[in-house]
Structures are given as C-alpha cells and as structure tokens.
Chains A and B, each alone.
Chain A
C-alpha cells in the first residue's frame, strides 16, 4: 500500500500572493457558466471556491482561549441530483461546561433570471438547531429557491473551546472542488503536529509570519500563518471492500504537541512515545486499571481451578471475563469506570473490559500488555509520531513462552487469540507497564476457513441423498455462531436455513461446538436435492457445483482507486463424493483447473474424477492476503470470471452399455 501520510515541512518561509477570502455575493458569469467537464463531467454539483481560516483568540469574558473558524463556500448546482448540496448540517460539540457555537451564519441562493443574478437570502428563521444527543448539536438549514443551475453561497463562524486538534480541514468531499483553501494562524507558543492525508497533492503551501496575532496575559504573540491550497480536487467516492474513508480522503489534521506558557514554562502533549508511555501507564483511566490486580485476587482460585499451564490459565481468565462482563457497544482506549465497578456492574466499554482482562492476567502472574489500536472505521494511525487521539480502542496481549496472543473479550463468540474484524487495522502500539512501547501488526490470527464435505448417492429419480459436513474456523465460524445464536434453538436455526434453501431439504441435523468457540464449528446435515430431472436415464447432465456455486463476480467494475480490503485471508475447500446408480462413463466434465493470483495472492483448484462409479470433486478457493492493491483489482476480477465460466459447464454422463 502506498504511503499516504506525509509530514508537512514548516521550514520554507516565503512570501507570495496574499491568500484571502472572496467577497460574498460576487457571483460572476464565469461562476455561473463554469464548465464542469474541465473538472468532472459526472458532477451534479461543484464547489467553485472554498475558503477557511482558523485562529486562536482570547475570550475576554472567560479568559479562555477559543478557536475561531471562519468558513465560506460557493457551490454551483447543476441538476436535481445535486440539490441535496443545499441541505446543510453542521454538527457541533457540547458538554456540561463548554460548547461550540455557530455565529454569523449567512446563506444565499443566486439564480440567473432575465439576464441578471437574483439573490434570495436565506431567512434567519429557516435555521434550526437540533439537540441531537448529550454531546452533539446540529445546526441545520436549507437554501431557498434552488433550481437547476443555481449557485449557493454560505459562510459562518464556528467558535470552539477545543483547540487540541485545532481545526481539521477536508479538501475532499462528495463533490469535486475547483479550489479549496485554508489558512491556519498558529500562535508561536503553540506547536502542532500537522498531517496531510489522501492521494491528492497540495498546489500551494506556505508559511508566513503574522505579527502580534494573539495577546495573552499582556504578552503579544506572533503567529505562523500557514496557507494550504488544493485545486481541482476530485470527488471522494467510496468503494466496496474499503476501510475507513478517512484513510483516503484528502484532509489536513492537527494535534497539539506542546505549548509555551507566558510564564516561560512549557507543557508537552505529545512528543515522543516514551512520554506517551508514561502518560498512559500512569493515567487513572488506563494504566491504573492495568495495575488493579487486587480486584481479581479473591476470584482467581476459582477461575483457575483445573488449569495447569500458563496457556490454560490465560484461556480460563479470558473465558471468565467474556462471560462475566457485557460489552456496552462503546469503543474507547480509556475505561469509563474503574474496573472494580466494571466487574460489579458486569458491563463496560472495550477499554473497561480489556483493561480488566489485563489486570486479571497480571494477577495470575502472566505477562500481559495493552495494545492501543485504531479500529477499521476509525482509520489508520500516524506512525511518524504519536498522535494519541488517533487511537480509539484497546485490546490485551498475553505472552506465553515464545508465543503471544492478542485478546479482545468484548465478543463472547470469538476464540482465544482472534481479534474481532473491527480491530484488524494495520498496526497497534503495545503499551507495557515497565518497558518502552512498540508497534505490532494487527492481523487475523487465524484464516477464515470453511470446509464442506458432501457424501451422497444419486438415485435414479435424479435426487441426491447424502450428508454435508461443514467445518468452519476463524471469522467464518464466528459469523455462523452469531447467526445460530439469533435463534432460540439450533432446530429453529436449521428450520430457517432449510426454508431459505429452496431446492434442498434438510432431513436431519447436528451442530457441534457452538459454545466451544476454540474448536471448529461442525455442522452435519442430512440432505436431499435434485441433480437432474430424471427424464433421461441414458445420458445425464449434472452441474456438480452443488455447494457455494459462484455465479456472480464480486469485483465487476472496470477500475479501482483504493485498495481492496477483505479483512482476513480465507480458505474454502469443497470435497464431494457421489456414488452413481449404475455404470456411467464420463463423456464431458468441467475442466480441471489451477488458477493463481499474482505473487501467491490466492489460488483456485478444481479436480473431478469418476472412479469405481463414484463421482469425486475437489475444489480449493484461497485468498492468502487480507489487502489487495488497487492494481490487483483486475486480477481478482479475472480470477473470479474464470471460475464462473468453469462453473457454468456441466458434467455429462452416459450410461455404459
């Protein structure tokens, strides 16, 4: 995968044309007639110009610093599909003591009527504030008189007490942009780590000095005026099999690294991993929990009953936590409560549960560490320097002998050592109470494996009666267990399964290891289905791909921009043995084949034989990687296409005379 993170250098200090905001309402014919073909002929709307500034200012009333973010945009709407660009929602943060405010909101629609631009100003009453939830308000408005060809323009000031992440700027959105420009005035006593994400390049980036931009405690402070400009930015379009959009969307991110107080002292926020290590391990919502061995002291004897070695101890503790504490569906790298309460209430967020797990493992004298990670939907973390706000989840790592296991006790149906798919995202940082932290790959510890074995007998009426045994491991087993658990009983699950398979009847069933999640899930079904209609006994046409026949190509598009992320490597094997009624000889059969993806990315093998009146088919479908580069998309497409073509062909059997 291409590196799409880049550090922006602050070193170049040069002066050039002054970037500045554009005038509100100054609509030109060039705006109105902007030819979208120069940018993207598929666009329903285009951002003609977008400009933002962010500064820090002292609020005299409270003596607090506030981030002032001015935003101004002008959008051309081409057709009805683009009308939704005129519906705007601005989310703002609030809590008991502080809130973000939207001020000076101004919006207008411009239509070209009878040779001139007619402005319809949005009514102030048309702005609604919705108190969405405890921490979120939404400012919502829609522009009046939208027609094909309208230009809309709006601007506002966002005033925020949060300046730790300064103000993120997204150069890319769901519609293309002609120009997107952002100026950040960063006071000289504040240091931010700045990260540009995405594939698109900045057209302009400069640093200038802005004198006396902030006055703090009677001291005037100069700012770095950072200008970032991107031109002709394509629309960001999501694709299937893709991780978080934020990994790929062009945007600039900030995180406060340190600040110099006016009294000369310096406060560091994120500097080096050793500082982060110290902060985390001493944090009362993180490290303190890891150390709470006392909570488990009295419980351990009964948990560890019947355990012998370290591995069985770790498994017993993992199972205990999984059973005992219910995940409240919240992520988090910090526990919302101390782990004593978590254990008592039997409920916690991901950190509450996994830090409890670490404490319990440590209490049993096992070598346990924490791994902070960013979940798939949260995007990748910056590796160049620690940005602690990138991480949103924590799991446990236990080291036993030469081996180590990553554990997440939020999902009771996961086996020991397998993280849920949401955690499989690039790398995590291992946090140890005593040693320096380090990176670790977050990969699925097991392949997703499914094996089908069908043993049956073809009768003269064309029906096959036999037994299908399915063995699953890894995520395949996890997903099936989750599905089975949706029903009151396995009987009800199988009934539903049977009803969903229109052409196959399940006569008997047995499912093993539903709750023994460390073992493979084994389903055995006695089944009956038709292989042919029985009308011509002398020659039989049979499509032998009875199980999981592939007829649709999941990669059917002609191009791909972003990597294809399948989550985990997978392995599916099918073996079929059917005994035929009488002496048949094979006239035709689907080609035996062996296909491979480049650089051992995957393979497909098929073999069919008729021996001793037994029809035998063996098939293997493997994907050895979790992530495929965009360039590999067409290989995947062709790989599937070849399989589909082969599976369209039949076996032709003729009765021997």
Chain B
C-alpha cells in the first residue's frame, strides 16, 4: 500500500537578509550550543496573501553550522511545480568569525525531478543547494521568495525544524487584507501574535527565542504533537481554478466531494452488468461487497499517478475500468462506483497512513492533512472498511497501516470525521507452538506452527507468495538461528475482517544444543527473543508505545534418553503498566516444556517511567536467554 498525495510543504522553514547582523559563532550562547549541530541565528518568514491566487512566501534565514553533522541543516531544498514558482534565491556564506566568505545564487542550485519511485507524474521538481565548506563553524544566510498561485495550502511554520537544531530567534509574519477570514492553529507557543491592522492590511507576527537543541529520545511521541508551530487556513480559497470556502471538516469534505469526486463514477456498461451478475445471488450487502472487493482485487493494481488538481483528484472510474490500474484515490473511487451498482453506500475517506498512528486534527480542518484514501461502508451499523490498493489484503481489514485514527469521509452531505477500528493488544497475536526433538549431538528436528493475527497478521505475509528459495532466505532472516533449515514451508490464511495467518514449518537445526564435556547447553526460547531497547537518560519526553501486542510461545522438547538436568529451570513472572511476561519450564521424563507469554501495552506514560520501561524490556531479554544445562549419560 502506498502513500499517494504529494503535498508541497516545506518542512524546513527558511528566512533571510539581515546584513547588519553579526554572525560570529562565538556569540551563540552556550545553552544553544548544547545538543545542537546547527543554530538558527535569525529567521524571518513572511507569508503575504495578496489575493487567494497570489501568495508570496519569503524567507530569510541565517543558520550557523556548528559541525559536520549539522551540515544537512544548511541544505536548502525548494519544491516547485506549475502552481508554485521560485521568484528569487540568493545567499551568503560567513566564516567562523562572521566574515563574508562567499555568495551564491540560483545558478548554484541543482535542479531535479522530485518524483519518487515508479510514479507517473510530470512536474514536481526540486532545487537544492549545499555549500561546500568543511571548516566549522560557518554561517549561511539564505534569502528566497516563492509565489503560490493558490492559498488552499499555506506552509505550516515550524521554527525548530529538527531536534539537533537550536534557534536564537525566529519570526513568522502573516499578511492579508483586513477583511480576510482565516483560522489559526498554534502549538507550544509562549506568546500570542502581535496584530496590526491598517486600512489596507492586517499583519500578524509570531516570534520565538532561544529554543535549545535536544537529543532524540526513543519511544517518544510524534514531534508534530508537541513542536512549536503555527498553521493557517484561509476561509476563502483558490486552487487550480477552483474557488471555495470552508471553516471546518464538514465544509472541506463537502467541497472535495462536490468538486473533486462527484461525477467520476461512470463505469463501462459491461462492467455494470458484470457486477450485477456477480452479486445477484447474494442476499446481504456485506456479502455483495465481499464479492465486489474480490473483483476489484483481481482486476486492478496500484500505480502511483500524481496528476489532476495537484494530486487531489482521482482519475475516473471509466479509466480504471479500461486500464486496470490506479492510485489509492482512483481505486477507492472505482470501488465506490462498483458498490453503487449494487446499491451499497460507501464513503471516500482521507487518512494519514502509516504504522505510526496519526489522526486528522479534529480541532483544525485543513487540506494538507492525510496522505492516503480508504473506503468506508456504513452497512447499516456494521461499518466495514476497505483498503483498495492491495490485491492481497483480506476484505474488511485495514491492518496497522490505517487502524485507530480519525479520517475524513467526503460525502454528499459534507465531510465527517470517522475513527477507524483499533487493533488491540489482546488481538494483535503471535501464537506459536513447536514440537522439537533433540538428539545427543544437539541436533534439533521438528515442527513450528505460528498463528499471526491483528496488527501482527502482516509479520510474515510477504513471504507467502515468494518463491521457495526466497522463502528459505526470508525465513532464515526471521528465525536467525545458526544452521537452521526448513524442510517444509506451508501457509494458510483465514482472510476475514479479523484475519489469521498460519505458518507451518518443518525444520531442522544442526547443533542447536551445544555439547561440551558431556553436557548440553540449551537455549530454551529458540524463536522469539525480545530485543533490548536503548536506555534514555535524563528523559524529557513522555514514553509512547504506539501499538500493543501479545506473543505466546510454547515449545516441547523431546530430550535424548537419560539426561540429567544440571541446573533447575526457573520460572519468571513480571507484570507492570507496560505489559507482562511469564516464562515457565517443566521437565517430565524426557519431555521439556517451555511456555512464554509476553504482552506489550500501548499507551502514553510519564517521562520518568522510561527507567522502569527500560528495565522491563531488559529483564524480559535476560529471561529470554534462559539456558538449561544437561548431563548426557554416556
């Protein structure tokens, strides 16, 4: 499944021209040097919305690169296309003590296509420049101006672009007509905007000072949820010859439906007939939808096609009918058209896809949220969701790509925020059961059967259709045990709204048990050792666990006859707010059973709990390395 809109947002905000400033690196306060590889000395961003189809975006930025690692912060990257033009770029480079060392202009920039992978798309381009300086620190000052022929998407202001960049001073100025209406969403800002209104224009200025560098922390929430930012959405907008207005999701969804989606659902008459025939014997809408979905999966494949109204409009259902491919927008629109034939209502839903859960902001509607489209069928209370870009995913299953988040349904009645179902800790299962025999040389043979479901359904899904040699290779990566070989590989899928994948492996592992001096050393947990996580000292951000899961492993080892356990197996139990762990070992005759259950909870926990979380995972890792030693009778 692939992400499909390209939004031209400048993650890095840049600014410009302060000739009188002193860029001596010595002047950067020590607090801003700490943890920073670069410091933004001064940045001024100005958005001048002269009219809805003429927005000037100008930036002046002075950034001091403190060391080689800060180099990327000195890179200026500007995306442009038919709707966005670069009016001017220029800049200067200053040495360590702030003396002018060189200048550059647009000619020094590299110009390349911004199209990624195999995407059928013509005109997204990027200009970028990185100064050739290798003595640090140095300062680079950029001034550039861009013109947008639209105001539907105004770049967000994020004055601190990365963890390792500190900011001395940065400001954002938004200029519009006094009569212009717009919504503002600010985050983590100490001061309110200073507002000035004259007859001709209204000006808003936000300023931040002294934002320090921070070190990246593992298991922390998405930066977007706490970084300093200002987002602006004008009420009346112009976009590719479209005009419109919105103040909330309802209105934005309505505009998208009316202008971008409506009237693109005409199918070939033969297809209409095929669908009618297909569902004529089905009694419920859900069963009809299931059949139609199967038809979609057989008929189409995903190809990124970034054309049409800045990448927002799907190609028509008739085109997909003819070509058999489309991007997520086109395929959702096509599926919707097929469902219409059977009289089944469905919603075109915009979502921010990715394993990291990200919702559309319920408090702030804007066009630059979301990067994927899925389909929702209300089915009279039996809401069912469809991912339309995959030919393999089970009917009604979204996977962790789009689960548990707010999405925007664009309907004839307007936009509605809906929440996709959550894949829960108790249902995100990986349950394995192994029967293994060990001979006197430590060689293992046996069978490993594992069931994957919920968010874990996909763990080995990509192995299924691979060739046998490729499967062997991938499984050796998944079960990275020295000398492991798979004699038989078998997969079964229960393709349903709550799908299950079962992997059945017949395997052998030469010398799994290690023999030394008449004793055998056996690592009990053969297949599922929890990796340790990095420590995070002086933690500042909350601990965020994106998704929970449950792993249950049982292994029965049939030992060689007459072995004597040399150390007693020990059982372990841990339980806390982050999850729980149980491991048990039992020896009866020559049957050794090992049972392990590990539960990881999702959630957000206070920063200071990281120490406990770290210890929990370390303890699990230690317990997972439990070894038994046996004496072998001669």
Question: B-contacting residues of A (Cβ < 8 Å)?
Answer: 41-44, 79-81, 83-84, 87, 89, 120, 123, 126, 128-134, 138, 140-142, 144-147, 325-326, 328, 345-347, 412, 485-488, 492, 495, 498-500, 502-503, 541, 551-553, 556-558, 588, 590-591, 640-641, 644-646, 648-650
Contact = CB atoms under 8 A, between A and B. Distances in A.
8 A-B pairs with the lowest CB-CB distances in the bound complex, closest first? A42-B467, A347-B132, A502-B532, A326-B134, A648-B514, A145-B324, A499-B535, A649-B516
A488 B69 contact: yes
Contacts, number: 156
Contact of A552 (B325, B480, B521): B480
Given A80-B465, A145-B323, A499-B535, 4 more contacts: A130-B113, A132-B113, A146-B324, A412-B134
Contact of A502 (B67, B470, B533): B533
A646 B514 contact: yes
B37 interface: yes
Interface string B177-220: 00000000000000000000000000000000000000100000
Interface string B452-496: 000000000000011111101100100010111100000000000
A328 B131 CA distance: 10
A641 B482 contact: yes
Contact of A650 (B69, B324, B510, B627): B627
A487 B37 CA distance: 8
Given A502-B621, A650-B521, A557 B473 contact: yes
A650 B535 contact: no
Interface stretch (B40-48, B81-89, B117-125, B339-347): B117-125
A634 to B, nearest CB: 12
Contacts of B470: 42
Contact of A487 (B69, B521, B621): B69
Given A144-B324, A145-B324, A649 B132 contact: no
Contacts of A128: 120-122
B537 A146 contact: no
Contacts of B67: 485, 488
A75 B132 CA distance: 47
A70 B286 CA distance: 52
Contact of A485 (B68, B391, B473, B510): B68
A540 to B, nearest CB: 11
B189 to A, nearest CB: 27
Interface in B571-630: 614, 617-618, 621-622, 627, 629
Contacts of B225: none
A553 B482 contact: yes
B372 to A, nearest CB: 20
A588 to B, nearest CB: 5
A488 B467 contact: no
Contacts of B132: 326, 328, 345-347
B433 interface: no
A314 B467 CA distance: 56
Given A130-B115, A500-B534, A556-B476, A326 B133 contact: yes
Contacts of B482: 551-553, 556, 640-641, 644-645
B476 A557 contact: yes
Interface in B6-46: 35-37
A245 to B, nearest CB: 18
B516 A140 contact: no
A591 B519 CA distance: 12
28 contacts: A42-B469, A43-B467, A81-B465, A87-B118, A126-B120, A128-B121, A140-B118, A142-B118, A326-B134, A412-B134, A485-B67, A485-B69, A488-B37, A488-B69, A492-B35, A495-B215, A502-B532, A503-B618, A503-B621, A541-B627, A552-B480, A552-B482, A556-B484, A640-B482, A641-B511, A645-B482, A646-B516, A650-B521
A143 B392 CA distance: 20
Contacts of A591: 516-517
A502 B534 contact: yes
Nearest to A553: B482
Contacts of A495: 215, 537
A130 B122 contact: yes
A499 B534 contact: yes
A541 B567 contact: yes
Contacts of A120: 324
A81 B463 CA distance: 11
Nearest to B468: A42
Interface in B301-319: 301, 303
A644 B521 CA distance: 12
Given A328-B132, A488-B67, A131 B532 contact: no
B534 A346 contact: no
B324 A131 contact: no
Given A80-B392, A346-B133, A502-B534, A89 B324 contact: no
A492 B215 CA distance: 9
A499 B517 CA distance: 37
Nearest to B33: A488
Q: Which among B122, B125, B482 has the highest number of chain A CB atoms within 10 Å?
A: B482
B112 interface: yes
B86 to A, nearest CB: 16
A44 B534 contact: no
Nearest to B321: A145
B110 interface: yes
Contacts of B323: 123, 126, 144-145
Interface string B518-547: 010101000000001111110000000000
Contacts of A81: 465-466
A514 to B, nearest CB: 13
Interface string B285-302: 000000000000011010
Contacts of B511: 641, 645
B223 interface: no
Given A81-B465, A144-B323, A145-B323, A645 B514 contact: yes
Given A326-B132, A488-B69, A640-B482, A41 B467 contact: yes
B111 interface: yes
B624 to A, nearest CB: 12
B465 A588 contact: no
Contact of B483 (A412, A641, A650): A641
Nearest to B473: A557
A640 B629 CA distance: 22
Nearest to B322: A144
B325 A558 contact: no
A485 B67 CA distance: 9
Contacts of B376: none
Contacts of B510: 641
Contacts of B330: none
B614 A502 contact: yes
B152 interface: no
B578 to A, nearest CB: 15
Given A146-B301, A146-B325, A541-B567, A588 B535 contact: no
A488 B35 contact: yes
B516 A590 contact: yes
B59 interface: no
B66 interface: yes
Contacts of A126: 120, 323
A131 B122 CA distance: 8
Q: Which among A43, A131, A345 has the highest number of chain B CB atoms within 10 Å?
A: A131
A397 B534 CA distance: 44
Contacts of A346: 132-134
Contacts of B37: 488
Contacts of A541: 567, 627, 629
A164 B309 CA distance: 44
Contacts of B469: 42
Contacts of B115: 130
Contact of A134 (B111, B485, B621): B111
Given A499-B535, A502-B533, A503-B618, A553 B483 contact: yes
